[in-house]
A and B are shown apart, each in its own frame.
Chain A
Amino acid sequence: MSLIQVEDLSVSYGARTVLSRVSLHVAPGEIITIVGPNGSGKTSLLRAIIGAVKPSQGRVIQRNEVKIGYVPQKLHIDETLPITVSRFLKLPGGVTAEDINHALAQAGVPDLAKAQLSQLSGGQFQRVLLAHALIGKPDLLLLDEATQGLDQRGSASFYQQIETVRQDTGCAVLMISHELHVVMSASDRVICLNGHVCCEGTPAVVASAPEYRALFGTGTGGALALYRHDHDHDHDHGDHNHDHDNTEAPE
């Protein structure tokens, strides 16, 4: 049975509809990547799943007692707020010191417990956010552009960490990537979103392709792959006109 089932979901902010009639499901242990241009409603979809935004239509059904770990897109720590990594991981509560060490190890940053949150590097910070999401032993991990602000190498190593986490814990992963052409080779499915679900399918693993190697080198260990989807498919919607060719072409 699916962990979560999104049925016919629409989200509007005032008169502006950002998501219209989106349906999708996440099965246990599955890694799904959502790609789409800016303003395509990716973040709104995740926010609807965690209950931060009310759908104007449709619903999100969770299997009983599904635990969700969420990594937000941006987390700005105000300079005036002193907080250590371990204190942050204790929020909102019910966490032991052992849980903290375990989650930090899982996220690949075992030594950071005593560091101040505001003094971490971008990569360390994302991993601490990942540790926070992992600490409740989630069945489903939601990541909103978790590699934003990381360089190519940083992103690759972060994606590898996610893959390891999935192998170790068996949790499902639903993540957003702003890098339209670069998605994780480990994704079981890729959903292309642009206000509605344009298309979905398995990503082609092109880590061995010469163009790919020329672009990214071999240092990423195959964690980055080029996702090509076929745009000859027929859209029923007719009236929208989005240009995938610009965004998809590797620079």
Chain B
Amino acid sequence: MLDDFMVRAALAGIGVAFAAAPLGCFVVWRRMAYFGDATAHAAILGVALSLAFSMSIFVGTMTVVLLMALVVSVLSGRGYAMDTLLGVLAHSALAFGLVAVSLISGVRIDLMAYLFGDILAVSRGDLAVIWGGAALVVALIGWRWSALLTSTLNEDLAYASGINPKREQLVLTIALAITVAVAIKVVGVLLIAAMLIIPAAAARPLSRTPEGMAVAAGLIGMLSAIIGLRAAFVLDTPAGPSIVCVAAITFLATSVLRGFRHQR
């Protein structure tokens, strides 16, 4: 028997997994894992700004994450390798965010809640934001699916088909910003990238088509959320990390499965 807050937590986890699955596949295919990680870290600065200006956390983090993506795309190709640039920006944003949060007087906040998520404290309002954002992300990616996939395979092939790969990149960046903003409450900034990458990676050995992989990643993500929450409840462990642990164990299982298949 689940208490009411557990139902809300499960729904929140499922919502994040739903959005993270198709987006996570593109993050994996396009080798954007570090980009996802970096933008998520930058989100803590967004949290600080939201608190300072009493905006909603969702708006604050979305803004910072989009700004960060913009700065990265402007600065890339100007003498720094992408990973250096992301490392500088992401960790600076994280550090400035942490400092800024501590400077905000009069507000006592639990920083851990933003670093690791606080899924058990999800309110009805949070649920609406999470599901609204998740639906938006899935709709956006679904709408651009073929164009995104063509651009991912080869940019020139996309141009020859009348698709502008730069615009598709922007679509992914926006989807990433929304996902980060809605996932903060559930898994926290430090583990958002895990929700993007691990279910997609775990789905890879089970799939023959891109669509199949996105669906499998979604199912794995949702199952991880439900089982992880249950485990957290039973074992009295932190909820966000428990969800990620279940996803990681699934990844291990499907990798072993692939190993067996290759042997046959």
Is the beta-carbon distance between B209 and A87 smaller than 8 angstroms? Answer: yes
For A78, A82, A116, which residue has the most chain B Cβ atoms within 10 angstroms?
A82
Let me know if B31 is at the binding interface, CB within 8 A: yes
Q: Which of A52, A69, A77, A82 contacts B153 (CB 8 A)?
A: A77
How many Å lie between the Cα of A142 and that of B157 in the bound state?
11
Let me know if B207 is at the binding interface, CB within 8 A: yes
Is the beta-carbon distance between B160 and A82 smaller than 8 angstroms? Answer: no
Q: Which of A75, A81, A84, A93 contacts B157 (CB 8 A)?
A: A75
By the criterion of a CB under 8 Å from any partner CB, how many residues of chain A are at the interface? 24
> Chain B residues near A80 (CB, 8 Å)?
28-29, 201, 204
Chain B at the A interface: SS class: helix
Let me know if B154 is at the binding interface, CB within 8 A: yes
> Chain B residues near A82 (CB, 8 Å)?
204, 207-210, 212-213
Is the beta-carbon distance between B152 and A47 smaller than 8 angstroms? Answer: no
A135 vs chain B, min Cβ distance (A): 11
Let me know if B147 is at the binding interface, CB within 8 A: yes
How many Å lie between the Cα of A132 and that of B156 in the bound state?
13
Is the beta-carbon distance between B153 and A88 smaller than 8 angstroms? Answer: yes
How many Å lie between the Cα of A116 and that of B207 in the bound state?
11
How many Å lie between the Cα of A69 and that of B159 in the bound state?
11
How many Å lie between the Cα of A114 and that of B237 in the bound state?
45
Let me know if A61 is at the binding interface, CB within 8 A: no
Chain B 206-257 residues near chain A, CB threshold 8 A: 207-213
Is the beta-carbon distance between A84 and B208 smaller than 8 angstroms? Answer: yes
Let me know if B146 is at the binding interface, CB within 8 A: yes
Is the beta-carbon distance between A92 and B161 smaller than 8 angstroms? Answer: yes
Is the beta-carbon distance between A81 and B154 smaller than 8 angstroms? Answer: no
Q: Using A68-B160, A92-B150 as known contacts, say yes or no to A81 and B155 having CB atoms under 8 A apart.
A: no
Smallest CB gap from A93: residue in B = B146
Chain A 53-105 residues near chain B, CB threshold 8 A: 68-70, 72, 75, 77-78, 80-84, 87-88, 91-93
How many Å lie between the Cα of A83 and that of B155 in the bound state?
17
> Chain A residues near B154 (CB, 8 Å)?
72, 75
Is the beta-carbon distance between A52 and B159 smaller than 8 angstroms? Answer: yes
Smallest CB gap from A90: residue in B = B146
Let me know if B174 is at the binding interface, CB within 8 A: no
How many Å lie between the Cα of A142 and that of B152 in the bound state?
20
Let me know if B95 is at the binding interface, CB within 8 A: no
B168 vs chain A, min Cβ distance (A): 11
By the criterion of a CB under 8 Å from any partner CB, how many residues of chain B are at the interface? 28
Chain B 66-107 residues near chain A, CB threshold 8 A: none
How many Å lie between the Cα of A68 and that of B156 in the bound state?
12
Chain B 153-202 residues near chain A, CB threshold 8 A: 153-161, 163, 201
For B150, B154, B156, B209, which residue has the most chain A Cβ atoms within 10 angstroms?
B156
Is the beta-carbon distance between A81 and B156 smaller than 8 angstroms? Answer: no
Q: Using A80-B204, A81-B29, A82-B213 as known contacts, say yes or no to A92 and B156 having CB atoms under 8 A apart.
A: no
Let me know if B149 is at the binding interface, CB within 8 A: yes
Q: Which of A75, A78, A84 contacts B31 (CB 8 A)?
A: A78
> Chain B residues near A93 (CB, 8 Å)?
146
How many Å lie between the Cα of A47 and that of B157 in the bound state?
10
Let me know if A221 is at the binding interface, CB within 8 A: no
Q: Using A82-B204, A82-B207 as known contacts, say yes or no to A92 and B159 having CB atoms under 8 A apart.
A: no
Is the beta-carbon distance between B213 and A92 smaller than 8 angstroms? Answer: no
A93 vs chain B, min Cβ distance (A): 5
A43 vs chain B, min Cβ distance (A): 9
Let me know if A51 is at the binding interface, CB within 8 A: yes
> Chain B residues near A88 (CB, 8 Å)?
153
Supply 15 further A-B pairs (C-beta < 8 A) apart from A68-B160, A91-B161.
Answer: A50-B160, A52-B160, A70-B156, A70-B157, A75-B157, A78-B30, A80-B28, A81-B153, A82-B210, A82-B212, A82-B213, A84-B208, A87-B209, A92-B158, A92-B161
Return 10 A-B CB contacts under 8 Å, by A number.
A51-B160, A52-B160, A70-B157, A77-B153, A81-B152, A82-B204, A83-B209, A92-B149, A132-B157, A142-B160
6 tightest A-B contacts by CB? A70-B160, A52-B159, A50-B160, A92-B146, A82-B207, A81-B29
